[in-house]
Structure 1
Amino acid sequence: MAITNINAITSDNVDVDQILQTVHEEILQYAEKLKQISMYMFENPELAFKEVKAHDCLVKFLKQEGFEVDEHFHLATSFKATFKHGEGGHTFGLNSELDALPGIGHACGHPLIAIAGVATLLGLRKAMLRYNIAGRIILLGTPAEETGGGKLKLLQANAYEGMDVCMMVHPGQSQVGQASISPTLAVQSFEVEFHGVSTENHYCCKQIFRLTTNKKPAHAAGAPWDGINALDAATMAYASINAMRQQLHPSDRVHGIIVNGGEAPNIIPKFTSMKYFLRATTAAGMERVKEKVMPCFEAAALATGCTHSVKFNDLLTDIRNCKPIGELFSETMSTMFNIHTVQRYHDWSGGGLSTDFGNITYAMPSCHPFYGIPCDPKRMNHTAEFEQNARADKSHEETWKVATGMAAVALKLFRDPSFSKEVSDTAVESPRSILMYHQAREWWEKDMRGDFMP
């Protein structure tokens, strides 16, 4: 069965299927080398902004392959690899994630994401040279996805400048033979401290916060009435949030820990700190969650006589997948590999994943498909079982397929002006910037109106 939807990309007599077959065959030629890189990353997991071994391994390979590489692109463990052929043309962006999780290593499959980007770059280079297809490819090595918002930092440093379309793929959330394109939750972390000095709040959709409390110390047995118990404030806030959950929207998420609860049982704590994550369906919806959550900390401080401060980290927005890109990727996966892709673009109907790639989708036409690897559906991403399954030969084989799917999007972008226009026209219908709060709120109200109603 021919992929008729992208036949327009060729202006000569070369069939599109033949071009994509060239891409896939080239990827398979590099399969063993790419798997060696992946397994090296699995065996050497590194946390956010410390991905030195992964960075150096990928950079060394890309330079050996003759690509133009900026080794430390805005961040110490980021890189930019570029390939260009011909004059003019569009620019297609790729992402290779590098970081691991504390304690369970690469339990989110980032080594597979890393080599998927490299595989697509290699396959496209072969096809562009063989069939004289003009265009430019940029592959970014992106650190600190799990914590730190590496892509947002790169976006703020203009690292994505010049890209017309950007993609990445992610293992998980599906079984072998399946893929999915769906929204993720916006997330923001914050830190709360109970103390006597207030600090400015910084709002940015993934948000993290930490709560810290400073209080007057006292002996817990000798003169407890002379103390102000910061731990009381922290536990009261924690309990208040738990009680408040029944008033949250079913898609909202609030989860946190007490980071510092005191120094000794016989000393009334004068200082406590907490760290929380907030998640919502959109960046605009995050404000609704904050309106529910933040009074819990204010009330706890008031009730115990503490003062408190809140520091918000950067907001990581929800994913806004570009539909024309997703549809082309899905058709390619179906036609070439008999992989069915579930497509949901503005319908959040379950799951609680978040990623810093969401900010990229607000900045340019983008798509972030998930793909299946062998794994127990109940032991998906962020489990030790998933980390082991991601190492399997079959997981790597599925990665070569989705890398070819991304290449199909790049080829159509390079050779079909109507596709480029369709992508651009679709993109402007969505909120393009996290600063466009009111437009984002309109999207949220449109998406969520009537959802979860009896």
Structure 2
Amino acid sequence: MTVIPVFETPSTDGAADALNGQARGIINTTIDTLHDELHKINQSLHSNPETAYKEVFAHKTLTDFLESRGFDVKRHTYGLDTSFEATIGSGGRQVVFCAEYDALPGIGHACGHNLIATSSLAAFLAAAQALSDMKIPGRLRLLGTPAEEGGGGKCQLIEAGAFDPPEDIAAAIMAHPTGSQHARYPGEVPFDGLAGMKLIASAKMRVEFKGRTAHAGAEPWSGINALDAAVSAYNNISMMRQQMRGDERIHGVFEVGGTVPNVIPGYTRMNWFIRSPTLPRLDELVKRAKACFEAGAAAAGCEISYTPDPTYSDLRINSTLCKTYVEDMAHLGLKIKQEEHTPFEASTDMGNVSYVVPSFHGAFPVPTTPDVAAHNPKFAACAGTPEAHKSALNCAKGMAMMAIRVLTDDSIAEGARRDFEKKN
């Protein structure tokens, strides 16, 4: 097969089509050939769920496999024990695939991060094969991003320089599994996935109340009840919900509520997530929530303190990257909804990345019943099925082609940069 000199912008649409066709053939063949090996990795991750910053098995499984394929792999990168990166190429533009692989406490891969890791790994391997075979100038990087589930792994990676210099990165790419019911929209035909999705901003914090213990029967008046402070705070939030906008969310749990009934609790701790569509609105909602917490502390006479986790920014849609993905998935016979501007009331630290570099965060369906969605134990089971693996690999083919087109097509790279630089 004749190799088109892709270091030059193709002069005709025919040349571009031939270039894309050659890359598409390499990508599809590579992923199909690696199907069984990728499925073993997928199943290994699914069977060994690990929570934020403790993804030791996943880190070793993915890095060992990449090294066995001859890639230059760095482990324990950017100050995080369970982050890694693999790179290939030189010169030209750079594209970063982000891989998530942490699970939820108690319910395993109920957000399907085993599938995210599999799809990003497959996309990187396939795009790397096309880059190598076709002698394409450019760089590809697979970045292992731990602790998306509340730990803010990508926030830590941004701070540590994983996306520096940002002008050097033409696109950061990943996709998330979703229940099959989310691929259907009222009045529309079913879709096989979603390219552009909006997720809302999220602040996370632990709230501690400190009082004084005392015998609950003999001298309760000597105590300062930290549980009363926490219960009051919880009720204050519940009352505030009536005046919240419909696209905002506050939800929390009691992590420490006392020890035994006959001791006035001197210490309690709560864990709260606060969500709103944009960062400015989130800041206002956080202020209102803190007023509720502090009123509870004041009513009980307790001290209050906060331990915040990294704030997740809202996820920005990059129309150029979404359009490119839709076009390439159509070659697989799959119909992808290009953009959904009604936000899902969920959050991701990929939102923070979307404020640093042009970013793509698509969604591919996992076959489920209508009553099953993410963060449900039944979704964890669905995320381990052969059908879910097939959906992840189809998505990987589209993401790999997107990466190659970003590297070879100036108009796509420039369009993605323009979309990124637009204000929300």
TM-score (norm 2): 0.90
Using the TM superposition, name which of 409-418 and 27-36 deviates more: 409-418
* Counterpart position of 1:179: 193
* Counterpart position of 2:268: 272
Deviation string 1:126-156 (CA, Å, 9 cap, x unpaired) is: 2223322221100011111113111111111
Asked if structure 2 preserves the Cα contact closer than 8 Å seen for 1:49 and 1:144, the reply is yes
1:79 lines up with 2:93 in the alignment: no
1:120 lines up with 2:123 in the alignment: yes
Question: Aligned in 2, Cα 1:408/1:227: closer, same or farther, shift over 3 Å?
Answer: same
Aligned match of 1:149 in 152, 157, 172? 152
Q: Which amino acid aligns with 1:110?
A: H
* Counterpart position of 2:3: none
Deviation string 1:68-115 (CA, Å, 9 cap, x unpaired) is: 111221211111000105xx2110100111211111111111111111
Aligned match of 1:229 in 204, 218, 225? 225
Paired residue secondary structure (1:363): coil
Paired residue secondary structure (2:366): coil
Alignment of structure 1 residues 38-437 onto 2, 5 Å? 38-74=42-78, 75-84=80-89, 88-161=91-164, 162-175=168-181, 178-180=192-194, 181-194=196-209, 214-344=210-340, 347-349=341-343, 351-430=344-423
Paired residue secondary structure (1:125): helix
Asked if structure 2 preserves the Cα contact closer than 8 Å seen for 1:257 and 1:275, the reply is yes
Equivalent pairs counted in the alignment come to: 402
Asked if structure 1 preserves the Cα contact closer than 8 Å seen for 2:85 and 2:144, the reply is yes
* Counterpart position of 1:31: 35
Question: Aligned in 2, Cα 1:364/1:13: closer, same or farther, shift over 3 Å?
Answer: closer
Asked if structure 1 preserves the Cα contact closer than 8 Å seen for 2:152 and 2:309, the reply is no
Paired residue secondary structure (1:267): coil
CA distance in 1: counterparts of 2:334 and 2:293, whole angstroms: 51
CA distance in 1: counterparts of 2:310 and 2:133, whole angstroms: 44
Question: Aligned in 2, Cα 1:130/1:363: closer, same or farther, shift over 3 Å?
Answer: same
Using the TM superposition, name which of 141-150 and 334-343 deviates more: 334-343
Using the TM superposition, name which of 166-175 and 89-98 deviates more: 166-175
5+ residue gaps in structure 2?
Answer: 1-9, 184-190
Asked if structure 2 preserves the Cα contact closer than 8 Å seen for 1:230 and 1:270, the reply is yes
CA distance in 2: counterparts of 1:10 and 1:362, whole angstroms: 35
Using the TM superposition, name which of 269-278 and 365-374 deviates more: 269-278
CA distance in 2: counterparts of 1:9 and 1:115, whole angstroms: 33
CA distance in 2: counterparts of 1:33 and 1:216, whole angstroms: 57
1:21 lines up with 2:25 in the alignment: yes
Paired residue secondary structure (1:69): strand
Deviation string 1:201-227 (CA, Å, 9 cap, x unpaired) is: xxxxxxxxxxxxx22332222222222
Asked if structure 2 preserves the Cα contact closer than 8 Å seen for 1:9 and 1:412, the reply is no
Using the TM superposition, name which of 9-18 and 135-144 deviates more: 9-18
Asked if structure 1 preserves the Cα contact closer than 8 Å seen for 2:206 and 2:307, the reply is yes
Asked if structure 2 preserves the Cα contact closer than 8 Å seen for 1:22 and 1:126, the reply is yes
Deviation string 1:149-187 (CA, Å, 9 cap, x unpaired) is: 111111110112242210101111445752122111211
Asked if structure 2 preserves the Cα contact closer than 8 Å seen for 1:9 and 1:414, the reply is no
Using the TM superposition, name which of 277-286 and 17-26 deviates more: 17-26
The alpha-carbon deviation at position 45 of structure 1 amounts to: 1.1
Task: Give the root-mean-square deviation of aligned CA atoms.
Answer: 2.0
CA distance in 1: counterparts of 2:243 and 2:407, whole angstroms: 49
Question: Aligned in 2, Cα 1:9/1:283: closer, same or farther, shift over 3 Å?
Answer: farther
CA distance in 2: counterparts of 1:7 and 1:386, whole angstroms: 48
The alpha-carbon deviation at position 188 of structure 1 amounts to: 1.4
The alpha-carbon deviation at position 18 of structure 1 amounts to: 3.4
* Counterpart position of 1:209: none
Asked if structure 1 preserves the Cα contact closer than 8 Å seen for 2:323 and 2:338, the reply is no
Asked if structure 1 preserves the Cα contact closer than 8 Å seen for 2:322 and 2:338, the reply is no
Paired residue secondary structure (1:400): helix
Q: Which amino acid aligns with 1:179?
A: G
Asked if structure 1 preserves the Cα contact closer than 8 Å seen for 2:177 and 2:363, the reply is yes
Q: Which amino acid aligns with 2:29?
A: E
Question: Aligned in 2, Cα 1:7/1:396: closer, same or farther, shift over 3 Å?
Answer: farther
CA distance in 1: counterparts of 2:306 and 2:20, whole angstroms: 55
Asked if structure 1 preserves the Cα contact closer than 8 Å seen for 2:179 and 2:372, the reply is no
The alpha-carbon deviation at position 255 of structure 1 amounts to: 0.7
Paired residue secondary structure (1:83): strand
